[in-house]
Structure 1
Amino acid sequence: MSFQDKVVLVTGGASGIGGATTRAFAKAGAKVAFTYATSRDEADAIVQEFAAEGVKGLALQADVTRPEAVTEVFARVERDLGPVDILFANAGGLLKRSRCVDTSLELWQQAIAINLTSTFLCCQAALRSMEPRRSGAIVTMSSLAAFDGGGFGAAHYAATKGAVATFTRSLAKEVGPLGIRVNGVAPGLIGTRFHDTFNTPEGRAAAVEKTPLRREGTPQDVADAVLYLASDHASYLAGEIMQINGGVGF
């Protein structure tokens, strides 16, 4: 797959799945911008890699739950690299586990902001540029939790990831006639800092045992799927939520 001269924006693109995808797009010839919240060292490492390989890229520290920050990100990308052709709306996460009965309204709203609002704002900004050009591809980040309810104490996270999946399908119907494809990925157990933080070795081992392929996924597994969905090879896919989980639930 080649993305020569395509302008790609990856939100949350400095580490984990986002970092793997940022690097994968760059290796495929794209001009890549990525946002990060706090991972400055990881962002700097990617920028240095880009410089060494002659890749044109851009790292932007931004809170993509804020409309003004998203507007600034897209303006910077367009000024420095060109209008965004491909968006991977990856930013999000689980702040902490909390039983529903103990979940504060503040935590609930924070989960909505980092997972759903950030996706909405970035898709909206991308479409303002893509619609006049009648071309573009968007990939969103859902989760296995959207389909199985997630782990213990993650109802707030699962709810937002389910909403991302529904938003993705709805948006695909809305902008497909304009030549813009919208799809999503829904990873399962991927060996990243997320599971280092919110899972246990025992929990991960039990999940692997239930996985038909008998292993954890890697960030590259997800990155490969994102690149496929964003490429011309997936030109007849729209509204698809690709589950990347080693066969769980099938």
Structure 2
Amino acid sequence: MTRPITVVTGGSRGIGAATCLRLAADGHDVVVGYLRDSRAAEAVVSGVREAGGRGLALRVDTSVEADVERIFEVAEEQLGPVTGLVNNAAVTGPLGRLADSDTATLRRVLDVNLLGVLLCARRAAQLMTPRGAGVIVNVSSGAATIGSPGEYVHYAATKAGVDALTLGLAKELGPDGIRVNAVAPGVTDTEMHAAMGDPERARRMGAAVPMGRPGRAEEIAAAISWLMSPDASYTTGTVLRVAGGR
């Protein structure tokens, strides 16, 4: 059987990197989309190859239409028809109240977390619809339903948009044989917290979760991989919460 070919945005670290490795272990060839850290992306590609898959690292700013067009074009040229997309790339900006957030941060969060997801999903749909098959998994967040006051309500708002996109696009593309789902992680132990300016946040917040700890990137990746798999063949329009009970 032909291996699925899956594009993973934000694939060089955290949940994205874990997803690339899990998908490769589960039989996918993987395009590792990254923005800045080419060395980290190439390390993930090495892991994909060690797991038996073909891997390709491509730079992409998902908020830029030309970049999105290019990553899919190169993926199809070098690996073959893209069968899956994991819309994972996202940014938060510094932690803080909305009243204290600058406009440039708000604009960047909206551009990457919502416009970027829309651009990638649109391109995937354009390619998959004539083929009558495909899978899209969007990475949302538990923040979409709790609002994250005092931390990043702007980020939470974009993730609520991702949830709405997931539902609407699943209904739109279902007749074309394309499934669209989302995974909504809770607090997860990744580099994101240090980037927000609070390296201890995952440990501190995890203590208040019913399971008493933060999630691991590999646990989120397992949920994504299941939604990408034939085992989830009748699952679409679902936002799967992986948040330790919170």
Per-residue Cα deviation, 1:91-144 (whole angstroms, up to 9, x for no partner) = 012122242222233222111101001100000010111000111010001101
Q: What TM-score do the two structures reach when normalised by structure 1?
A: 0.92
Distance 1:81 1:129 in 2: 14
Pick aligned residue for 2:182 from 169, 181, 184: 184
Q: What TM-score do the two structures reach when normalised by structure 2?
A: 0.94
Q: CA deviation at 1:28?
A: 1.5
Q: CA deviation at 1:230?
A: 0.9
Q: Which stretch shows the higher mean deviation, 93-102 or 119-128?
A: 93-102
Alignment RMSD, CA only?
1.7
Show the 5 A alignment for 1:108-187: 108-187=106-185
2:20–2:48 Cα contact (<8 Å) kept:
no
Q: CA deviation at 1:166?
A: 0.7
1:4–1:29 Cα contact (<8 Å) kept:
no
1:4–1:30 Cα contact (<8 Å) kept:
no
% identity of equivalent residues: 36
Q: CA deviation at 1:19?
A: 0.2
AA of the residue aligned to 2:71: V
AA of the residue aligned to 2:157: A
Distance 1:98 1:207 in 2: 16
SS at match of 1:5: coil
Q: CA deviation at 1:240?
A: 0.7
Show the 5 A alignment for 1:1-250: 5-52=3-50, 54-198=52-196, 199=198, 201=200, 203-248=201-246
Distance 1:16 1:205 in 2: 15
Structure 2 gap ranges (5+): none
Q: CA deviation at 1:148?
A: 0.2
1:48/1:236 CA distance change after superposition, 3 Å: closer
Q: CA deviation at 1:196?
A: 3.1
Distance 1:194 1:115 in 2: 14
Number of aligned positions between the proteins: 245
2:32–2:58 Cα contact (<8 Å) kept:
yes
Distance 1:102 1:9 in 2: 35
2:143–2:156 Cα contact (<8 Å) kept:
yes
Structure 1 gap ranges (5+): none
Distance 2:143 2:71 in 1: 29
Per-residue Cα deviation, 1:137-166 (whole angstroms, up to 9, x for no partner) = 100011011010125230111111111111
Distance 2:157 2:173 in 1: 24
